[in-house]
Structure 1
Amino acid sequence: MSHLLMSLILSGFLNEIMSCVLSSLQITDLLSVFYGQPTPLNQVQAPLREFLGRRVLNGAECTPDNVRSSVEDLVESMETEISDTVVSVQQTVKCQICPPPTNQL
């Protein structure tokens, strides 16, 4: 169930941000980061800044108040998305465990 839940959650914001990060890195960069070399992460800063300005701030100026408000909105939307996903997964699992009875004549 957790794999299904994660795949559904990742279809939203988290998937978008991971796509932004991974589109700027090659596999060798990821391996370098994995082995403790943070230098490749420098090339992610500009695309990530642009993504966050567009997706989180919706083009608003990057001020502490705008960031706080935008992050609160994002968290609220993710809470709703996660709640909806959990309900969907629970219904799917329930249907798989206890399928509806078939009409037998």
Structure 2
Amino acid sequence: MDMMKMLGQLQESQQKIQNAKEAMKNEFLDEKSSDNLLEVKVSKAGRVKEIKIDDELLEDKEQLVDYLILTLNKALEKAQNQYDEELERVARQGMPQIPGMPF
């Protein structure tokens, strides 16, 4: 395979990965507590966008903190997994076919 062609493919792949990272800043996941009293929205890039709290939770600060931690961690874990999967998918698409390499 022509080295210049491979270099071009790698540069194109890097650009696609960068584009995917930018796009995931505007793709969101919603996560709710098991009883639906708390809902969070996070970007696939791991940024908290929105938190909705049922008035019932406002009466118990400790419970609210527990719900926030659990629900945010769950949402951020899902976002990170989807972020990683998307970047891996984009990277694999752009990899040049090099004989002997297991891509």
- TM-score category (smaller protein): 0.3 to 0.5
Query: TM-score, with normalisation over the residues of structure 2?
Result: 0.45
**Structure whose residues are more often helix by fraction:** 1
**Structure whose residues are more often strand by fraction:** 2
